């Protein structure tokens, strides 16, 4: 009977979770999703091998995650719905495993905790955002690892122990945010028994700690390499980081109990060691832990939950540099965003569980006549959470919805303004896009992406002089911005400054040699300037980078014709038409060359 009831609860939870996330079912990729989804160069079997063997092949070295993306691309590329359904299913199944874990720990309120976890609006960012499947999938592996380890801990079943190791390993290769799991298992051992024994509790976890340590080192190395390549800077001292950690602890706790104004990009915090009230956050956190420690002999649960919350949050509490969220703007080296809802995805469990357990114990102790009222109150709580999540999931429909929602809560977000400007530019609203870009650089004059985008759209609109001015200003802020050199070169070429354009293309290629468009445009300018040999060299380099580009084959053919080598141009034109039978001008040029070949 109990088993049947568990199946019913699990089915209801999964169905309800899918319905709550219906607004995000067909959500389009936003922000950096396109970077994380499988790139063209990785879509072959060789690309799959690179995902595992080359840490620089993907933005972060999470090979299990990117293998999933690779498989999904093969199965349903072009359809966003299956991507989202897989992520939602992982989230719902994780909630089911959470209930099973709590039942194995003999805790009441297991299914209440599972439903709260599944429906809480703080989780929407992890579930509705394409690339954050790394949260739901790694969490699923972590839950499977914990469930098997608890079975081993109770029964000393070595098959379950091996399964726990395998699931933990897969989870680390999906996202290393689960590195705190071995520490949480130690905390659970102490909570259950009141003590921790080396042989019984610690020695079995040594392989888990070793894997967590290695995965953490690799992730830090890849993250630093990734940040360095993008010019991100981090200026926070150790004291700053303690101030950040204390504030983040209370921020995340607050969002769990009062999930208001959730947003993809929060306003920056300015960290100031001379401001007395900023010390209140870490001091209050320490006082809370000390108070819970003082009552540990009577109630171990609250201390165990708080420590688990801190352990699971630790990687994102500010002690490690995180791309974008801890990068400082040039105008304020002590300000950054620091926080994101998806950072506390798994840590929420450590708060949700004691709340659900407490509510269930109160319900069990209450008089029988009050239990229906409490059941209705519990259903009302779940309905409220589901409604908030349903509404919030709608903001992830597309980039415009997403960034307009950010600006409603954080109107000075230069990132949201710039990204919204790009959306408007893509659909042809150039004037409105320019307004968004100008607003972003009014807020932060050194915000290079806003100024670069402004320069690019001004060039597109035909205002070449101001575009050049904006792009030069970008390069004063970041003289190593290859894309800005490339776009500046396009503007200079359009203005007729061939020599300066060639020099600017050269700077772009020196910074980013694998830049096919820069090779192509440089070759075009060289061809116009009469440097046919130089043009052919760059056309060929572009072709090496884009062997299946009909335009690149056509460009090379034109260069060869200009050089007087019509015979070499013919196969390039044939390849162009093989790749794109309707490619303009390729057919007439090929017929003309073939006709000339037949002339005596």
Residue 107 maps to a domain: yes
Structural domain boundaries enclosing 169: 2-30+79-396
pLDDT band at 284 (very low <50, low <70, confident <90, very high): very high
158 pLDDT higher than 80:
yes
As a whole number of angstroms, the distance between CA 319 and CA 317 comes to: 6
Per-residue pLDDT at 144: 97
pLDDT class of 143 with cuts at 50, 70, 90: very high
pLDDT interval class at 229 (50, 70, 90): very low
Residue 485 lies in a domain: no
pLDDT tens, position by position, 477-506? 889 899 999 999 999 999 989 999 999 999
Average pLDDT of the chain is: 91
Whether 594 maps to a domain, the answer reads no
In a domain, 112, yes or no: yes
Burial readout 98-121 (b: 16 or more C-beta within 10 A, e: otherwise): bbbbbeebebbbbbbbbbbbbbbb
Query: pLDDT tens, 380-400?
Result: 999 999 999 999 999 999 999
- C-beta separation of 337 from 266 below 8 A: yes
* 230 confidence band (pLDDT: 50, 70, 90): low
Residue pair 535/523 in contact by the 8 Å Cβ criterion: yes
DSSP string, 414-462: HHHHHHHHHHHHHTT-HHHHHHHHHHHHHH-TT-HHHHHHHHHHHHHHT
pLDDT digits (tens, 9 = 90+) for 3-50: 788 899 999 999 999 999 999 999 898 888 888 888 877 888 988 999
pLDDT of residue 367: 67
Q: What's the whole-number mean pLDDT along residues 313-333? A: 84
pLDDT of 228 higher than 70: no
pLDDT digit string (tens) for 413-451?
A: 999 999 999 999 999 999 999 999 999 999 999 888 999
CA-nearest of 252, 234, 245 to 335 is 234
Average pLDDT over residues 164-172: 97
For residue 580, being part of any structural domain is answered with no
Q: Is residue 586 part of a domain?
A: no
Domain annotation covers residue 599: no
pLDDT of residue 82 exceeding 50: yes
186-216 tens-digit pLDDT? 999 999 998 999 999 999 999 999 999 999 8
Q: How far is CA 535 from CA 489, 492, 510, 585, in A?
A: 16, 18, 17, 20
**pLDDT above 90 as % of the chain:** 67
Quick one: pLDDT at residue 231?
60
Task: Calculate ∠ Cα 179-296-294, nearest 5°.
Answer: 110
Greatest CA separation found in the chain? Answer: 108
Percent of the chain with pLDDT over 70: 98
**Range 104-128 average pLDDT:** 95
* C-alpha separations of 369 from 25, 365, 375, 413, 462 in Å: 42, 11, 11, 52, 75
Number of domains in the chain: 1
Q: What is the pLDDT of residue 390?
A: 97
Residue 198 per-residue DSSP state: I
Please check whether residue 63 lies inside any domain of the structure: no
Instruction: Give the predicted TM-score (pTM) of the model.
Output: 0.89
Per-residue pLDDT band for 169 (boundaries 50, 70, 90) equals very high
Note the pLDDT of residue 174.
95
């Amino acid at each position: 009977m109990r088993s049947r009831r568990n199946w019913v609860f699990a089915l209801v939870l999964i169905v309800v979770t899918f319905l709550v996330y219906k607004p995000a079912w067909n959500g389009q990729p936003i922000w950096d999703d396109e970077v994380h989804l499988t790139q063209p160069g990785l879509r072959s079997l060789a690309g799959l091998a690179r995902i595992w063997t080359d840490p620089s092949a993907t933005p972060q070295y999470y090979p299990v995650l990117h293998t999933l993306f690779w498989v999904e691309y093969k199965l349903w590329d072009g359809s966003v719905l299956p991507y989202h359904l897989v992520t939602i299913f992982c989230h719902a199944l994780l909630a089911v495993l959470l209930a099973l874990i709590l039942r194995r720990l003999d805790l009441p309120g297991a299914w209440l905790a599972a439903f709260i976890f599944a429906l809480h609006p703080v989780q929407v960012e992890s579930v509705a955002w394409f690339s954050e499947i790394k949260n739901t999938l790694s969490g699923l592996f972590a839950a499977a690892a914990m469930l098997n380890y608890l079975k081993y801990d109770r029964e000393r079943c070595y098959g379950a122990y091996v399964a726990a190791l395998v699931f933990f390993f897969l989870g680390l290769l999906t996202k290393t945010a689960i590195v705190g799991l071995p520490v949480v298992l130690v905390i659970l051992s102490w909570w259950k028994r009141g003590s921790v024994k080396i042989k019984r509790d610690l020695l079995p976890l040594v392989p888990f700690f070793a894997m967590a340590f290695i995965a953490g080192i690799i992730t830090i190395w890849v993250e630093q390499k990734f940040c360095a390549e993008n010019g991100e800077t981090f200026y926070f001292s150790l004291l700053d980081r303690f101030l950040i950690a204390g504030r983040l602890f209370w921020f995340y706790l607050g969002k769990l109990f009062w999930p208001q104004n959730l947003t993809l990009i929060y306003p920056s915090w300015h960290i100031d060691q001379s401001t007395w009230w900023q010390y209140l956050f870490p001091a209050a956190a320490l006082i809370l832990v000390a108070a819970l420690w003082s009552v540990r002999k009577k109630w171990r649960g609250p201390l165990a939950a708080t420590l688990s919350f801190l352990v699971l949050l630790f990687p994102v509490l500010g002690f490690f540099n995180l791309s974008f969220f801890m990068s400082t703007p040039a105008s304020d080296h002590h300000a950054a965003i620091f926080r994101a809802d998806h950072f506390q995805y798994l840590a929420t469990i450590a708060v949700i569980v004691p709340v659900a357990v407490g509510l269930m114990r109160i319900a069990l102790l209450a008089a029988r006549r009050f239990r229906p009222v409490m059941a209705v109150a519990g259903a009302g709580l779940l309905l409220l959470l589901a409604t908030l999540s349903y509404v919030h999931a709608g903001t992830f429909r597309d980039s415009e919805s997403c960034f307009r929602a950010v600006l409603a809560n954080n109107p000075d977000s230069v990132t949201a303004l710039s990204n919204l400007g790009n959306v408007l530019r893509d659909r042809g609203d150039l004037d409105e896009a320019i307004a968004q870009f100008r607003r972003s650089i009014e807020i932060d004059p050194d915000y290079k992406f806003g100024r670069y985008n402004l320069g690019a759209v001004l060039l597109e609109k035909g205002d070449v002089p101001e575009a050049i001015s904006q792009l030069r200003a970008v390069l004063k802020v970041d003289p190593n911005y290859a894309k800005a050199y490339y776009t500046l070169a396009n503007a200079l070429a359009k203005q007729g400054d061939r020599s300066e354009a060639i020099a600017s293309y050269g700077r772009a290629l020196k910074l980013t040699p694998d830049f096919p468009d820069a090779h192509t445009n440089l070759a075009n300018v060289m061809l116009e300037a009469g440097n046919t040999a130089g043009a052919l060299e760059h056309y060929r380099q572009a072709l090496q980078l884009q062997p299946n580009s009909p335009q690149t084959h056509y460009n090379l053919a034109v260069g060869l014709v200009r050089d007087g080598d019509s015979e070499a141009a013919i196969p390039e034109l044939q390849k162009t038409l093989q790749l794109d039978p309707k490619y303009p001008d390729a057919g007439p040029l090929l017929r003309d060359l073939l006709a000339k070949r037949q002339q005596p």
